[in-house]
Structure 1
Amino acid sequence: MTAEGSADGSAEGTVEVSAAGSVDASAGGPVAGKLSFLDRWLAAWILGAMATGLVLGRLVPGMGDALAKVTVAGVSLPIALGLLTMMYPVLAKVRYDRLETVTRDRRLLLPSLLLNWVLGPAVMFALAWAFLPDLPEYRTGLIIVGLARCIAMVIIWNDLACGNREAAAVLVALNSVFQVIAFSALGWFYLSVLPGWLGLPQTALDVSVWEIARSVLIFLGIPLLTGYATRRLGEKARGRAWYEAELVPRIGPFALYGLLFTIVVLFALQGEAITSTPLDVARIALPLLVYFALMWTGSMALGRAVGLDYPKATTLAFTAAGNNFELAIAVAIATFGATSGQALAGVVGPLIEVPVLIGLVHVALAARRHFPQSDNGTPAAAQEGPTRV
C-alpha cells in the first residue's frame, strides 16, 4: 500500500509520536481515530473504486482496446501513470540518509532480510499451492505478491502500533533497493525452477528475466530515483523541517489517488471475471489472510526471541507482513496482461491488507506487556516526549 501518516495533510491525521519514532498510545483515542479522513476510510475508497471500475467496464464498450493502444513496458499508459503516481510520493518520504543506522543493528537487519527475502516468498509459495492448486493464474499472482516486499503503507501501521518509525523507514528503503536487484531472479526461481524441483507444474513465462527486470526497474526504479532526488534537492533548497512539514503533506495524497485510479482501470478490465467468479475472489483472499497472520505473528515472536525491544520488534513484524501490491500488480500486468488472473490476484490484495493490518495494530499494542518494561511501565526505547508528525 502507499500512504503514510496523514494522507491529506490535515490536522485530523496528526499522530503523537515520540522522539524515538513511536506513537504515544495515550494520545488520540482509538486506532482508527489517528488516521486521516482519507486513510481511515481507505477500504471504502477501494471498494468504491472497484465498483466504479465494474460499472465503467459494463457501460463503456471497447474500453479495454482503448486502454491498450498505448503501452509502457507492456502496460497500458493510464495504468502505468497510475502506478508511478502511487509509488513516487511514498518513496519521496523515506529517510535515505539513515540507512547506516539500521545496517549496524544486526539483530534487526538480519532477521528482516531473512523474513522478507527468504521466509516471506517461501510462505506465500506454499500457501498459494495449498489453497489454489487448481487455479494456476491466481496461484501465480499470489506468488508474485509474496515476492513484492513492503515499501510504504507499513509505516502507518508501524506508527499506530508504537513501533520505531525511523527503523521502519530505513527498512522500507532497503527493501526498495533490494527489490530492484533481486525481484526478477526470485520470480524466475519460484515460478519456474522450484516447481520443477518439487515435481509441480511450472508456470510458462512468455517473457525473459530481463523483461521482468525492466518492469521492476520502471515501476520501482523510476519512483525510487525521483523520490530520492526530491528529498535531496528539497532538503538542500529549503531544509528538512520544510520538507517534512510542507512538501510531504502536499504530495502524500497523490499516492492514494494513483492507487484508486489504477484500481478503477483494472476493475474496468477485470469486471467480467470478477462478477462471473466471485468464489474465486474469495479463494484468493483466504491464503492472503493466513499469510498476514503467519508472517506477523512469527516475526513478532522472532523479534522478542532475539532480544529486540518492543518498538523494533513491532517494526520487524509489520515490515515482514506487509507487501508491495503496486509492484506486484505492475509486474503481473506487464507479464501476463491487465485482464489476467495474475493481475486480479494482486488487485484483491489491498482490500484484504488494510483491515487485517489495522486489526494487527490492536494485537501489537496488547502484546507490549510481553516485552521488557521501563521503570514507569512503558516499553523500552519509547520514553521520550511526543512530537508531531
Structure 2
Amino acid sequence: MGFFEKWLSVWVVLCIAAGIGLGSAFPGLFRFLASLEYASVNLVVAVLIWGMVYPMMVNVDFASLRHIGDRPKGLVITIVVNWLIKPFTMVALGILFFEVVFADIIAPADAQQYIAGLILLGAAPCTAMVFVWSQLTRGDATYTLVQVSLNDLIMVFAFAPIVALLLGVTDIAVPWQTLILSVGLYVVIPLVAGAMTRSWLVNHAGRGESPETSIARFTGGIKPFSVLALLATVVLLFGFQGHVILDRPLLIALLAVPLLVQSYGIFALAYGAAYLWRVPFNVAAPCALIGTSNFFELAVAVAISLFGLNSGAALTTVVGVLVEVPVMLSLVAFANRTRHMFPATE
C-alpha cells in the first residue's frame, strides 16, 4: 500500500480543512474555477475524476465481458438496491427527520424543500466516483463497468418517473446534457483511453514479462497520481462550498443526518446481502458502494432547474456532495478490513 493510500483518511481530513480555508481566503479564485462548467458538470473536477477513473479502466478485460452473465448476483443486488429500495428509504428518512425529529426547528415549507433534495439524491446512483471506490477496494474492474453501465441505462428510463412519483411533480425535465456529458466524460472517454492503453501494454510487454505483469506495473505506477487527483477533488469541492458550511453550520449538520443514515444503511443492506449470497469480495464491495454513492451532478442540476439555485432542495444536494467523499472513504476502509469474510471466487 502506497504512502498516500495508507494515510488516506488523514489526507482527506487535511484536504477538507484546506478546501474550506482556501475557499475563504481566495473566494474569487474558487468562484472562477466553479464557473468553468457546462451542463452543471464542473470541467476541472471532471478532469480530476477522469484521472481517478482512467487507471481502473486500464484493468477492464473486454474478453471477459461475455462471462459476466455467468455471475448475476452482483448485478441483481445492484438493481434491487438502487431502484427498488434506495429512493424510497431516502424519502422515508426525509419525512422522519424533517417532519418529525427536527419538526420544532425546521419550518414546514423548508422541510419540503429538503425532502425534495434528498429524493433527487436517492434516485440518482453514482456514475463516476464509484470507479474510484472500486479501485481502492481492488474490485473487479470489468464487473464494475457492467454494474455502472447497467445503472446508467436504467437511469435513462427510470429517473424521471421515480422522481415524479416521489415529488408529486409530473413535469420533470431530465437534464439530458448533464446525463449524457457525465456518462461520456466518466465512462466512455476513460474506457476508450484505458482500452487503448491496455492494448499497447499487451503488445509491448517487456522481454520475459507477461501482459498481466506489464499492466499491473503500469497501473501501480500511476496509482499515486490517481490518489492525488482524489485529494485535489476534495480540496475543490470543499473550496466551492466551504462558505455554506461556515455560514450555516447547524443546518448543514441537520441535512447531513438523514444522508449519513441512508449511506450507512444502504451499504449495510447491499454488503450484507452480498455476504449472505456468498458474492466474491471483488464484486461485493463495488456492488455495495455503487448503491451508497450518488450521481450528485444530476441531482444538483435537477434541483436547480425545478426549485431554483438558492432553494433548500439545491442546498441539500450540495450537502450530499460534501458528505459523500468522507463517508465513502470510511466504507472503503471498512470493506477492506472485512475482505476475509467473503469468498475469493464465485
Count of aligned residue pairs for this structure pair: 320
Aligned equivalents of 2:148, 2:300: Cα separation in 1: 20
Which residue, out of 150, 154, 158, partners 1:182? 154
Q: Which runs of 5+ in 1 are unaligned?
A: 1-12, 14-35, 160-164, 197-201, 369-378, 383-389
In the TM superposition, 1:229-378 aligns within 5 A as: 229-238=196-205, 240-303=211-274, 306=277, 308=278, 312=279, 314-315=281-282, 317-323=284-290, 328-332=295-299, 340-341=314-315, 342-362=317-337, 365=340
2:185 counterpart of 1:218? yes
Return the offset for 1:63. 2.7
Return the offset for 1:51. 1.4
Cα separation, partners in 2 of 1:169 and 1:336, compared to 1, 3 Å: same
CA contact (8 A) 1:212 1:331 kept: yes
Which residue, out of 131, 145, 148, partners 1:151? 131
Post-superposition CA distance 1:270-306 (Å, at most 9, x none): 1111112333443444334433443344345544655
CA contact (8 A) 1:292 1:322 kept: no
1:230 aligned partner, one-letter code:
T
Per the normalisation by structure 1, the TM-score is 0.68
Instruction: Indicate the percent of aligned positions where both proteins have the same amino acid.
Output: 22
Post-superposition CA distance 1:36-94 (Å, at most 9, x none): 32123222222222211211221124234422554344434322322322222232233
Aligned equivalents of 2:195, 2:95: Cα separation in 1: 38
Aligned equivalents of 2:170, 2:12: Cα separation in 1: 30
2:159 aligned partner, one-letter code:
G
Cα separation, partners in 2 of 1:292 and 1:219, compared to 1, 3 Å: same
Post-superposition CA distance 1:143-182 (Å, at most 9, x none): 255455843423544x5xxxxx5xx333202123224423
Aligned equivalents of 1:186, 1:95: Cα separation in 2: 29
Cα separation, partners in 2 of 1:111 and 1:101, compared to 1, 3 Å: same
CA contact (8 A) 2:57 2:141 kept: no
Return the offset for 1:233. 3.2
Cα separation, partners in 2 of 1:174 and 1:91, compared to 1, 3 Å: same
Cα separation, partners in 2 of 1:380 and 1:269, compared to 1, 3 Å: closer
In the TM superposition, 1:26-37 aligns within 5 A as: 36-37=2-3
Return the offset for 1:316. 5.1
1:273 aligned partner, one-letter code:
V
2:67 aligned partner, one-letter code:
T
1:48 aligned partner, one-letter code:
L
Aligned equivalents of 1:292, 1:325: Cα separation in 2: 5
Aligned equivalents of 2:126, 2:203: Cα separation in 1: 35
2:4 counterpart of 1:38? yes
Cα separation, partners in 2 of 1:98 and 1:328, compared to 1, 3 Å: same
Per the normalisation by structure 2, the TM-score is 0.75
Cα separation, partners in 2 of 1:67 and 1:336, compared to 1, 3 Å: farther
Aligned equivalents of 1:224, 1:129: Cα separation in 2: 40
2:62 counterpart of 1:96? yes
Aligned equivalents of 2:84, 2:231: Cα separation in 1: 31
Cα separation, partners in 2 of 1:124 and 1:208, compared to 1, 3 Å: same
Which residue, out of 20, 25, 34, partners 1:54? 20
